[in-house]
């Protein structure tokens, strides 16, 4: 039954399905009674519960005289009081704090786990790992699979881009990348590990005994946390104004706005490892505490000459009150800080902005190092979009600091520092820098193209009386064209249009893309008709080479669909089409035309005679078709492995489709594939074919499969279910895959890459064939080359130099033709044209009408151009035709345009007469159509429109 809480439930939570322990996705108001938070530890230690008059939230403290909750908030509960005044026994760097946390819990029976990837490839609902609990949702928390250990401890590297605008201004309270220390216990109905009281005790012991923070300085605040479809009460710990950890007691699922009890109660803690590091040092910012030498180097690169650390420390104490999530005006905070420092807000802003930008650069470049090291390719979709967002924001920040050419230098510093603990950063060093180089060039190209686009939009808005480009347009320009609002502001200012950039602009952009779009669950209307049936036995997994089988009909649906007790017909899925074949029964036959899987039941669509329920049938698959689909599917794994070996570890599968004659594989890659790269991929894949590598398939529990093979398993995306079918091609490639495969790669015979193409930015498509279809494709190409050889009269081995020679000759001929056309146009635009053309006058405007035979559009355009350059009071109406089409060229001199002539309108109307269309500018346009017999009518229409244009222009206004 749903839990009914003591106040009406408001689940208006942030859209990032987030898990950030610092404010998390908590509900707007407290919803649980005191008993959810009142643990025996509080009574034993003498904690009292109080209500903060500033923020209106309950908290527990050892100090009965304490009035507010002590957290630095906009409501004014407190300021940071640890700056230059750390409460810990000693100072820690990030590495030391991480180890202190992990070893503390390891000594207390928790198994230490390695950080999971920052790209959550095992999830189909979000792209980035934003909390340690993401590692275990939904399969462990919902009881589908067991946890890798129980209890466990982990320091998870997380990326959370909804905090992108807060990164820098809050001095380290927010960051796009952080380590979340989590000690997790999964409590089952029949096995309790530990729950609320022990969780609080562990935390208190860590901060007081391990770190040396005085007990009376540790405050516990009550909240409700929700994220990833789960929820529960939580206690947030605050020391000297800084929130350090969140202790979540996950006991609910959120279903349609209601909290429903989970069978498994999860201790879900989030310790801010960076925040603990910061408070232990009492540094003026979290960035100084975490990035130290990197930040110093960054400052030296910039124009920031000298930093007043005394002033920075005074301002830092106010920084906890600044939070864009609360839609506060930063000016209010700056006014207080400026007043405290004895300066104006303008002076304070000039002092802080470059420093905060440097803070953000330090954070963003670390985030990028981790994202790119895991093979994310910047693009316009999914995690690639988020990576591009961060790259472009970083580049703009670097530009404001005057060090846009130092991105590689900063990235080198980040890789060198963090690869000590995360060696994969060093392994991906060259790929990271190469991706950044390519992406920077793309961004510069975008900025160059963006000027005209913004100018058009701004002028259109201005014509409608608008004086400012709205935020919705800024978001559209960023989403669709990659133009950052800062660049839009610069372009718009040139024509007097204003732009107000929202303080949380990049957060708004990130929130649009943090989650995968919700999957439409196709509710098959037949599901209710088969719900009582047992799972279909899938013979194709037991023996992919089985061609014939016997079975029994369990159900007939829609008069042309049958469900069998067991089947060898593979249903469509994973990019592999369903099998085709035949069913035979009582001397009758039916063709199997389509096979689908609904749940774990296979439905066969048949054409022909219909068997009866309970009737025995014999099935036979189209073996030739199946065998080539098996070859194509295994070949996909070979091409994938080859692409990664040739292009780099950033290559991941973005999509695939197997067919009999050819198949395709879409891969992530940051530039167009070259023919040389395609050839290398083909050569390597064929070497794998020659090596006759064994192809093994096995079903493994999800946790064991991930532990053994890692997250490369999920090439084709997240795989549902408790068990995972693993397809392993020797040491070449391993992947979670539900398709049918050959026993060894030698059965493929031969693999030929037919072509490559760009599907979208960041995604390349490789199209290939196998076996006899690959041979046929190769022979077709050879036949084409032979035909070219015979046509050119050159042997095959000399085709290239012959083609080069002919191309050179063709270019020279074209150049000469162009010169001759120019010369002829010059002659024709003079006396010669006037002798042959029909010339009409409208007051002082001349209309020159001329047919060009044979049809030569280039000559028509050149002649018209020469004519109107010489005589600005002239309009040229030129036309020509051949057996299939008629073409019209209209060109007006400058004076004619001023007097009302519009070539574009004339060409459109004239072209319509001859059954086509036209377009162009007011001074030059052309059109064409296939109604050749109406050409004279079209010219007459053009003349009429021109006369009307000039007449309209002469009318007094």
Q: What is the mean pLDDT of residues 541-549?
A: 95
Of 19-23, 130-134, 888-892, the range with the lowest mean pLDDT is 19-23
State if pTM tops 0.85.
no
User: Alpha-carbon distance 720 to 599, whole Å?
Assistant: 12
Q: How large is the greatest C-alpha to C-alpha distance in the chain, in angstroms?
A: 113
Element (H, E) at 625: helix 623-647
Of 162-176, 311-325, 359-373, the range with the lowest mean pLDDT is 311-325
Residue 21 confidence (pLDDT) above 50: no
Inter-residue contact 19 to 123 (CB < 8 Å): no
pLDDT given at position 6:
34
- Identify the residue with better confidence: 870 or 432: 432
pLDDT given at position 523:
41
| Residue-wise DSSP of 807-871 | HHHHHHHHHHHHHHHHHHHHHHTTHHHHHHSEEEEETTEEEEEEE-SS--HHHHHHHHHHHHHH-
Please, which pLDDT band fits residue 549 given cuts at 50, 70 and 90?
very high
User: Alpha-carbon distance 584 to 352, whole Å?
Assistant: 81
pLDDT given at position 544:
94
Q: What is the mean pLDDT of residues 51-68?
A: 92
pLDDT given at position 18:
35
Residue 286 confidence (pLDDT) above 80: yes
User: Alpha-carbon distance 281 to 276, whole Å?
Assistant: 9
Please, which pLDDT band fits residue 4 given cuts at 50, 70 and 90?
very low
Q: How do strand 695-701 and strand 616-621 relate by DSSP bridges?
A: unpaired
- Identify the residue with better confidence: 23 or 386: 386
User: Alpha-carbon distance 893 to 875, whole Å?
Assistant: 6
pLDDT tens per residue across span 203-226? 999 999 999 999 999 999 999 988
Residue 334 confidence (pLDDT) above 90: no
Residue 288 confidence (pLDDT) above 50: yes
How far does Cα 431 stand from its chain's mean position? 19
Please, which pLDDT band fits residue 29 given cuts at 50, 70 and 90?
very low
Please, which pLDDT band fits residue 2 given cuts at 50, 70 and 90?
very low
Q: What is the mean pLDDT of residues 26-53?
A: 83
pLDDT given at position 10:
30
Of 46-60, 663-677, 837-851, the range with the lowest mean pLDDT is 837-851
Q: How many helices (H) and strands (E) does the chain have?
A: 27, 33
Residue 246 confidence (pLDDT) above 90: yes
pLDDT given at position 104:
97
Q: What is the mean pLDDT of residues 229-258?
A: 89
pLDDT given at position 684:
95
Please, which pLDDT band fits residue 23 given cuts at 50, 70 and 90?
very low
pLDDT given at position 415:
95
* pLDDT, averaged across the chain: 85
Please, which pLDDT band fits residue 68 given cuts at 50, 70 and 90?
very high
Measured between alpha carbons, how far is residue 513 from residues 126, 327, 382, 917 in Å?
9, 21, 7, 41
Residue 527 confidence (pLDDT) above 80: no
HSE of 780, CA atoms in CB hemisphere, 13 A: 9
Residue 162 confidence (pLDDT) above 90: no
Residue 229 confidence (pLDDT) above 60: yes
In degrees and rounded to multiples of 5, residue 577 shows phi and psi of -65, 155
Please, which pLDDT band fits residue 489 given cuts at 50, 70 and 90?
confident
Q: What is the mean pLDDT of residues 128-150?
A: 85
Of the segments 130-139, 318-327, 366-375, 513-522, which one has the largest average pLDDT value?
Answer: 366-375
Portion of the chain with pLDDT greater than 90, in percent: 46
User: Alpha-carbon distance 846 to 891, whole Å?
Assistant: 12
pLDDT given at position 240:
94
Query: What angle do helix axes 623-647 and 771-792 make, rounded to 10 degrees?
Result: 70
HSE of 189, CA atoms in CB hemisphere, 13 A: 5
Sign, CA dihedral 548-551-557-559, equals positive
- Identify the residue with better confidence: 173 or 487: 173
pLDDT given at position 49:
95
- Identify the residue with better confidence: 694 or 19: 694
Name, in order, each residue with C-beta under 8 angstroms of 684's C-beta and a sequence gap of 6 or more. 641, 642, 645, 646
Name, in order, each residue with C-beta under 8 angstroms of 96's C-beta and a sequence gap of 6 or more. none
Please, which pLDDT band fits residue 803 given cuts at 50, 70 and 90?
confident
pLDDT given at position 88:
96
pLDDT tens per residue across span 669-711? 988 999 999 999 999 999 999 999 999 999 998 888 888 888 8
pLDDT given at position 799:
77
pLDDT given at position 242:
93
pLDDT given at position 74:
66
Please, which pLDDT band fits residue 887 given cuts at 50, 70 and 90?
very high
pLDDT tens per residue across span 939-954? 998 988 888 888 877 6
pLDDT tens per residue across span 550-584? 999 999 988 889 999 999 999 998 889 999 999 99
Q: What is the mean pLDDT of residues 502-509?
A: 70
pLDDT given at position 293:
94
pLDDT given at position 233:
92
Please, which pLDDT band fits residue 389 given cuts at 50, 70 and 90?
confident
Of the segments 273-277, 669-673, 730-734, 800-804, which one has the largest average pLDDT value?
Answer: 273-277
Residue 428: exposure state from Cβ atoms within 10 A (0-12, 13-18, ≥19): buried
Of 354-363, 537-546, 861-870, the range with the lowest mean pLDDT is 861-870
Of 32-36, 309-313, 536-540, 560-564, the range with the lowest mean pLDDT is 309-313
pLDDT given at position 344:
77
């Amino acid at each position: 039954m749903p839990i009914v809480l003591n106040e009406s439930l408001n689940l208006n939570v942030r859209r990032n399905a987030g898990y950030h322990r610092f404010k998390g996705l908590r509900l707007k108001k407290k919803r649980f009674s005191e008993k959810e938070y009142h643990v025996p530890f509080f009574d034993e230690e003498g904690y009292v519960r109080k209500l903060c008059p500033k923020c209106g939230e309950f908290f527990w403290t050892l100090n009965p005289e304490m009035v507010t909750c002590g957290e630095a908030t906009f409501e004014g509960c407190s300021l940071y009081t640890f700056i230059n005044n750390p409460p810990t026994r000693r100072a820690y760097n990030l590495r030391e704090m991480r180890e202190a946390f992990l070893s503390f819990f390891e000594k207390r029976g928790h198994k230490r786990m390695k950080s999971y990837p920052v790209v959550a490839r095992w999830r189909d609902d979000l792209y980035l790992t934003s909390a340690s609990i993401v590692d275990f949702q939904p399969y462990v928390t919902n009881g589908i699979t067991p946890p890798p250990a129980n209890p466990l401890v982990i320091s998870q590297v997380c990326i959370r881009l909804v905090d992108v605008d807060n990164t820098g201004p809050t001095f380290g309270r927010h960051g796009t990348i952080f380590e979340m220390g989590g000690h997790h216990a999964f409590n089952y109905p029949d096995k309790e590990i530990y729950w609320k009281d022990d969780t609080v005790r562990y935390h208190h012991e860590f901060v007081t005994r391990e770190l040396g923070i005085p007990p009376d300085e540790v405050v516990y605040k009550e909240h409700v946390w929700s994220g990833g479809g789960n929820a529960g009460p939580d206690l947030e710990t605050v020391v000297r104004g800084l929130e350090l950890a969140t202790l979540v007691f996950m006991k609910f699922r959120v279903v349609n706005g209601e909290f429903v009890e989970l069978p498994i109660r999860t201790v879900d803690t989030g310790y801010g490892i960076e925040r603990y590091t910061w408070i232990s040092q009492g540094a003026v910012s979290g960035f100084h505490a975490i990035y130290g030498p990197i930040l110093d180097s960054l400052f030296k690169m910039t124009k920031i000459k000298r930093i007043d650390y005394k002033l920075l420390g005074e301002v830092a104490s106010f920084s906890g009150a600044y939070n864009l999530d609360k839609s506060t005006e930063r000016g209010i905070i700056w006014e207080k800080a400026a007043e405290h420092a004895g300066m104006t807000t303008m002076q304070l802003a000039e002092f802080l902005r470059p420093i905060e930008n440097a803070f953000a650069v330090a954070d963003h470049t670390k985030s990028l190092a981790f994202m790119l090291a895991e093979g994310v390719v910047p693009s316009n979709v999914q995690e690639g979009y988020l990576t591009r967002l961060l790259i472009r924001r970083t580049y703009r920040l670097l530009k404001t600091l005057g060090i846009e050419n130092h991105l590689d230098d900063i990235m080198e510093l980040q890789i060198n520092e963090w690869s000590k603990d995360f060696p994969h950063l060093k392994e991906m060093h060259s790929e990271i820098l190469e991706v950044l180089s390519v992406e920077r060039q793309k961004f510069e190209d975008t900025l160059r193209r963006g000027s005209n686009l913004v100018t058009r939009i701004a002028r259109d808005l201005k014509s409608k009386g608008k004086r400012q480009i709205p935020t919705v347009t800024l978001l559209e320009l960023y989403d669709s064209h990659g133009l950052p609002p800062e660049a839009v502001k610069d372009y718009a200012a040139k024509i007097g249009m204003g732009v107000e950039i929202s303080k949380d602009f990049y957060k708004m952009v990130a929130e649009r893309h943090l989650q995968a779009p919700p999957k439409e669950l196709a509710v098959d209307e037949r599901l209710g008709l088969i719900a009582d049936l047992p799972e279909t036995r899938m013979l194709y997994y037991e023996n992919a080479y089985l061609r014939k089988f016997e079975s029994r009909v369990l159900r007939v649906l829609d008069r042309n669909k049958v469900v069998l007790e067991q089947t060898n017909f593979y249903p469509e899925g994973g990019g592999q089409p369903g099998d085709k074949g035949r069913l035979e029964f009582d001397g009758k036959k039916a063709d199997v035309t389509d096979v689908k899987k609904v749940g774990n039941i296979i439905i066969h669509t048949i054409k022909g005679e219909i068997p009866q329920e309970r009737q025995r049938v014999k099935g036979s698959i189209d073996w030739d078709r199946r065998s080539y689909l098996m070859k194509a599917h295994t070949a996909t794994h070979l091409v994938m492995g080859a692409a990664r070996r040739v292009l780099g570890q950033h290559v991941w599968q973005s999509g695939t489709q197997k067919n009999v004659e050819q198949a395709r594989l879409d891969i992530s890659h940051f530039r167009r594939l070259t023919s040389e790269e395609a050839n290398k991929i083909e050569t390597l894949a064929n070497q794998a074919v020659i090596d006759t590598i064994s192809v093994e398939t096995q079903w493994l529990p999800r946790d064991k499969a991930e532990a053994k093979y890692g997250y490369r398993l999920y090439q084709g995306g997240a795989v549902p279910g408790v068990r995972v079918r693993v397809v392993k091609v020797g040491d070449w490639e391993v992947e979670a895959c539900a398709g049918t495969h050959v026993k060894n790669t030698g059965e493929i015979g031969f693999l030929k890459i037919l072509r490559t193409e760009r599907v979208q930015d960041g995604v390349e498509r490789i199209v290939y064939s196998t076996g006899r279809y690959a041979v046929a494709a190769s022979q077709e190409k050879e036949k084409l080359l032979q035909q070219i050889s015979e046509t050119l009269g050159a042997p095959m081995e000399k085709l290239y130099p012959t083609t080069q020679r002919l191309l050179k000759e063709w270019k020279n001929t074209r150049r000469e033709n162009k010169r001759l056309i120019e010369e002829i146009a010059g002659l024709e635009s003079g006396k010669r044209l006037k002798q042959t053309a029909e010339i009409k006058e409208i007051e002082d405007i001349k209309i020159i009408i001329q047919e060009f035979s044979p049809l030569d559009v280039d000559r028509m355009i050149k002649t018209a151009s020469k004519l109107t350059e010489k005589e600005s009071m002239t309009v040229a109406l030129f036309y020509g035709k051949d057996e299939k089409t008629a073409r019209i060229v209209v060109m007006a001199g400058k004076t004619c345009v001023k007097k009302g002539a519009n070539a574009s309108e004339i060409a459109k109307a004239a072209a319509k007469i001859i059954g086509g269309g036209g377009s162009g500018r007011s001074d030059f346009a052309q059109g064409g159509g296939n109604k050749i017999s109406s050409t004279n009518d079209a010219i007459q229409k053009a003349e009429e429109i021109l006369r009307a244009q000039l007449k309209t222009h002469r009318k007094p206004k």
